[in-house]
Structure 1
Amino acid sequence: MIFSIKDTYRQAVEAASGGKNTVLYDDLGYPSVMVVVPRFKLSDIDPTWPADPHPAFIVNGRIIDEIFISKFQNVVVGGRALSLPMQDPKVYVNFDQARGYCTAKGKGWHLMTNAEWAAIALWCWKNGFLPRGNNYAGADHGALYENGRKIYDWILTYNWNNRAYKIDGANYYHVGRVATGSGPASWYHDNTPFGIADLNGNVWEWVDGLKLHDGKIYVHGAGGVAQNNFETQNNSHDVTGWVDTGAFFDSTVAGDTTQTDHEIAGDPILSPDRTNPMYITDPTTDAYYGWEFVSFESLTAETGFTPPAMLKHLAIQPPGTGLGGDGLWVRNYGERLPLRGGHWGHGSRAGVFALNLNSARSHSAHALGFRSAFIPV
């Protein structure tokens, strides 16, 4: 897509990045710095996959040439999501608020979808570079010399038991956020300053287009085919217009009363049904207890069950090996909406393949944000 209006800001950004970045304006004229992601085929990722466009580039059956992803985790100005550098990302935002800040910008704007996130994660994996990021209180756990610009006057000691506190209302929280895009090139998805920043850590990011209902996996699409139909409504406990993948997240063990740090025994597993709900006693009273964790790369399927290929295409199932220690958190009761990337305290569990499916849409926290995307319609 070529933009005919070349204002000074857009010209400067496009010239500096060789066209990899641009500036888009919403319906009130607010600017956002965006990364242009060109279309690629599934077979470009794995030659055994179909030679079809990745689902991120199919919208309501229409094949599109490129998508525009916020270069930075978003802030909110005038009720609209903006992608701007060197900002404290918007946090304390639930799913519906995040989605609303994006759609308020005008036609084509939307909360980044899981299909779009997956396309970028798979591209990184195929190209042999998984971005580092702020996953260790301002630094990367595997490269402590890599730092972003701190937001608060917290003390970086690399000692989890000696971190400074920030007063946040009546509560005290460990805060390790850094300014958007303030890290080195290795914190961008393509290992250059012109990529997408902070997909590994800093704050979790809500994404649209994926949800669990009592463990069953639903995605954007039509006719049983995954697509990037970002205008699909995402109402509580409503799957009208969504693709039923026929796959569930189940547990490797039956109900369990052993609990440490809110995690119950067993691991998430892909299954054709849900046999073992992940709660300790009663899902109506175990408000925060009853989730399971496994490294994303270690996720397996129940013996005899072959999950649909779309789960790999959408980075819900590992596409192969070499994904690092990125984590997968799952609850398989109630409605659960996805968070991706991890936050500043997750260490090796954060990363571009990290996926959290244990949150209700009402969840809001100091390490939870989002980013917008744009597709011309």
Structure 2
Amino acid sequence: MANIIEELQLLKQASQEQTAASQAVVQAVSGKMAAIDRNINDSITKVESTYDQKTSNLTIIATDGYRKAIEHNSGGRNTVIYDAQGNPNIMCVIPRFNIEDLGLADLNLGTGVHPAFITNGAPRSEILVGKYLASAAAGGSAVIGGPQPRTSINYDTAKRLCTQKGDNWHLMSIHEWAAIALWSLANGTVPRGNTYYGRSYEAKWETARRVDDGLPGDTNGTGRTGTGKGPVTWNHDHSEFGVCDLVGNVWEWIDQMKLDDGQILTTLDNNPAVAEANWHRHPAYFDLTSENQSGTGYIGSPVLSNSVTKRNGPADNNIYKYPYMHNSHFAAITKSAGYTPNELLRRLLIESATTATVGGGIWCLNYGERLPFRGASWYDGSFSGLGAIALNYGRSYSYSNIGFRPAFFV
């Protein structure tokens, strides 16, 4: 019996020793496998890092090459800025100029640098403005030629899409629009555009393909055209390197200006960082010669005044359901006896000292909050122009004939 017990103990000890040996082998193998896994992971990480770096370098080379090609072909008048979404945006370079150098003495614009090139009092050597209207291609706000402009978008969304493109991006301002318009006037290159269903209202032979493939001038269907599809006379400098479609095609939301119960508010220079609550309230209002708040039709021309004496709707009401004011030429509206002419508003093409300036009608309501769009659309005909301004809709309004244009600070 004792012998059996001793043998069992020996067998138990041998089993324990075998188990310990097996565990040691397992641990050794596990350690080696872990080391192999670490080596494999390190190798994969190094390969991925090298691939990413090479891909990044190739992307930089490709994008830089595209930008250099655009700049070379345009003589530096166009460039490419990539936004936060990685989309290319073809931009027109607008150099700074002095107002007096334009030679537009009759417009009584004063002297010094145009406010489009000043931000919070500091001058800029140039501004970059989208060569094309923003399109729905490549993320919803890319500035590229050919596609349809993005429309049916309200003011706040247009502004947000511009700022989401990254630092220094902003919705085109009232200052930038006016600077380009005045430069075009001074240089004899005031653009025409798609102002009558796929053709120019002024020059019927100037056409572009319509989105609905309709005939130029056919008033049926949608006469909107693709970005930059028109002739060079539809560009601000009458060259292939100019800003396209400022006149006609679709209206453009404009920043840094609005009406508040008829009073004109703007920034004092080109500064998109200024909150609307801090925009300057000019002693300038759009008044009426006779008050009428019934119906929805035409009520007469607006009058520039130092106050509002008659409204075409109830104050502080942002809806659009009352008569509207209109004049076929923004510069032809009269001024009240008590109105003090405003140099900044003349520089922004809101007021004018003479009708011998850029054309375009004005539409407005002097009640509630009204945000501007400029340039007119494909069916506005003789009312279209660089001076055309609509101030009769609120910030939430959107329609198929309103788009927007991004701009950029360098």
Cα distance in 1 for partners of 2:111, 2:293 equals: 44
Match of 1:291 among 313, 320, 324: 324
- Which structure has the larger Rg over C-alpha atoms? 2
What residue is the counterpart of 1:183 in the other structure? 230
**Which of 197, 206, 210 matches 2:244?**
197
CA distance in 1, matches of 2:284, 2:370: 15
How many correspondences in the alignment? 346
Letter in 2 for 1:16: N
- In the other structure, the counterpart of 1:36 is 93
Q: Deviations over 1:309-329 (max 9, x none)?
A: 111011111253333651001
1:79/1:104 contact within 8 Å kept: no
1:218 maps to a residue whose letter is L
2:309 counterpart residue number: 275
Q: How does 1:88-107 map to 2 (within 5 A)?
A: 88-107=148-167
Change (3 A) 1:140 1:24: same
Tell me the residue number matched to 1:73.
Answer: 133
Contact 1:201 1:350 in 2 (8 A): yes
SS in 1 for 2:229: coil
Pairwise CA distance, 1:256: 5.4
Is the Cα contact below 8 Å between 2:78 and 2:91 reproduced in 1? yes
How far is 1:60 from its partner?
A: 1.2
Do the aligned partners of residues 276 and 68 (structure 1) sit closer, same or farther apart at CA in structure 2, a change above 3 Å counting? same
> Are the equivalent residues in 1 in contact too, given 2:325–2:364 (CA < 8 A)?
yes
In structure 2, how many angstroms separate the alpha carbons of the residues matched to 1:109 and 1:366? 24
Counterparts of residues 313-328 of structure 1 (less than 5 Å): 313-323=347-357, 325-328=359-362
| Partners of 1:154 and 1:189 in 2: CA distance | 26
Determine if contact 1:134/1:148 at 8 Å carries over to the other structure. yes
Q: 1:319 to 1:132 in 2, by over 3 A?
A: farther
CA distance in 2, matches of 1:7, 1:191: 27
1:40-88 Cα shifts (integer Å, max 9, x gaps): 1122234554332111111111110000000001113565521100110
- Cα distance in 1 for partners of 2:183, 2:318 equals 41
The aligned residue for residue 353 of structure 1 is 387
1:59 aligns with 2:59: no
Equivalents in 1 of 2:139, 2:283: separation in Å? 37
Alignment partner of 1:230 is 2:272: yes
| Structure 1 residues 289 and 79, CA gap change in structure 2 (3 angstroms) | farther
On the 8 A contact 1:76/1:101 being kept in 2, the answer is no
Alignment of 1:1-377 (within 5 A): 7-45=64-102, 46-47=104-105, 49-77=109-137, 79=139, 81-156=141-216, 158=217, 160=219, 163=220, 165=221, 175-220=222-267, 226-234=268-276, 240-255=277-292, 257=294, 262-279=296-313, 287-294=320-327, 295-323=329-357, 325-376=359-410
| Gapped regions of structure 1 (runs ≥ 5) | 166-174, 221-225, 235-239
Contact 1:34 1:68 (8 Å CA) reproduced: yes
Q: CA deviation at 1:124?
A: 1.3
Q: Which amino acid aligns with 2:333?
A: L
Aligned identity (percent) is: 40
- Which digits, 9 at most, give the CA deviation of each residue in 1:155-197, with x for residues without a partner? 43x354xx1x3xxxxxxxxx11101001001000011111100
Once structures 1 and 2 are overlaid, which stretch shifts more, 4-13 or 66-75? 4-13
TM-score (norm 2): 0.80
| CA offset digits 1:113-135 (Å, max 9, x no partner) | 01100111111122223210001
RMSD between aligned residues: 2.1
Higher helix share: 2
How far did residue 13 of structure 1 move?
1.1
Q: 1:357 to 1:63 in 2, by over 3 A?
A: same
Secondary structure of 1:373 counterpart: strand
**Structure 1 residues 285 and 217 mapped into 2: Cα distance closer, same or farther (>3 Å)?**
closer
1:98 aligns to what SS in structure 2?
helix
Moved more, 17-26 or 144-153: 144-153
In 2, Cα distance between equivalents of 1:94 and 1:108: 21
Would the aligned equivalents of 1:54 and 1:119 in 2 still touch at CA under 8 Å?
A: yes
User: In structure 2, how many angstroms separate the alpha carbons of the residues matched to 1:21 and 1:284?
Assistant: 43
**Structure 2 unpaired stretches of 5+:** 1-59
Greater Cα shift, 36-45 or 90-99: 36-45
Alpha-carbon separation, structure 2, partners of 1:213 and 1:96: 17
The aligned residue for residue 11 of structure 2 is: none
Contact 1:256 1:264 in 2 (8 A): no
Aligned 8 A contact 1:336 1:358 in 2 = yes
